Copies of this chain bind each other. A is one copy, B any other.
């Protein structure tokens, strides 16, 4: 899915960021992104051996890494070697994107007027930021806030009291009342007395035909994006943390929670109040029973239940 940059980016060259580093060519930094997505003039980061293959083939011009890992980087990639990659990454993100670590409310909002957004229908007190795009026949409920640069497709229905930022939303998407989409995720480096807030420059990307029920929260990605796939339906009060990717045609019941950076396949159904831990991979066609707590990866076509979640047969045997 298409993404974009929602934050003010400073024009900095790599030597402005690392005046003392050995740098072959002083380039203007274009972006900070993952090893596999990085292009020329991007900064990337490499902190886990799992990403060795991506590191060996990265197109990044510069990489933040550790003493143990730097040998896997191509020779032409300039680098800085640190003890704590995420801490260093957070510092550099903050220099390049100075306003992405706190959810500053958009102070450029104005009352929506149909004349600027043809064939869009607005309720009362709809507040719209700058450079917002909204497709034809979309309806936006009262007291809803659409912050600057957000894009919403055609034939969508956005309820009342919603707050949407850092998001790109497809066509025929239904969002019920009071959803909060695109806020900063729960990411920071724990420091006693004053944590270091991790800048979140990612988007929330919502595909066509998605339905999101009332009171959901969907955090934007930190470096990558939070994604909801086509025709996936979320019930009330679901919480989707930063960098979560949910596939197509999923059914997520009420009060389910996803911790950060987890990937959910397509055609997955999840019962009410279930929770999925962070950094997991859940396959396609998986069914997760209500109230379950998923703490491990799940392969395709499995049915699981329980806390911790186990195959359904095992759960039923345990509890008969």
Contacts and interface: CB of A to CB of B under 8 A. Distances in A.
Given A143-B143, A193-B230, A254-B257, 6 more contacts: A102-B174, A106-B123, A163-B177, A178-B180, A214-B219, A259-B271
How many protomers of this protein does the assembly include? 3
Interface of A: 102-107, 109-111, 121-125, 127, 139-143, 145, 157-161, 163, 174, 176-178, 180, 183-184, 186, 188, 190, 192-195, 197, 209, 211, 213-215, 217, 219, 230-231, 233, 235-237, 239, 241, 248-249, 251, 253-255, 257, 259, 267, 271-273, 275, 277, 290-291, 293, 295, 306-308, 319
Contacts of A259: 253-254, 271-272, 290
At the interface, is chain A mostly helix, strand, loop or mixed?
A: loop
Given A109-B142, A160-B145, A254-B241, A209 B183 contact: no
A317 to B, nearest CB: 13
Contacts of A174: 102-103, 197
Nearest to A254: B239
Given A178-B178, A215-B215, A290-B277, A104 B236 contact: no
A262 to B, nearest CB: 11
A254 B105 CA distance: 21
17 contacts: A103-B174, A105-B140, A105-B158, A107-B122, A107-B123, A109-B124, A110-B124, A124-B127, A145-B160, A161-B161, A161-B180, A163-B177, A190-B251, A193-B209, A193-B248, A195-B233, A306-B307
Contacts of A140: 105
Contact of A214 (B192, B195, B217, B277): B217
A277 to B, nearest CB: 6
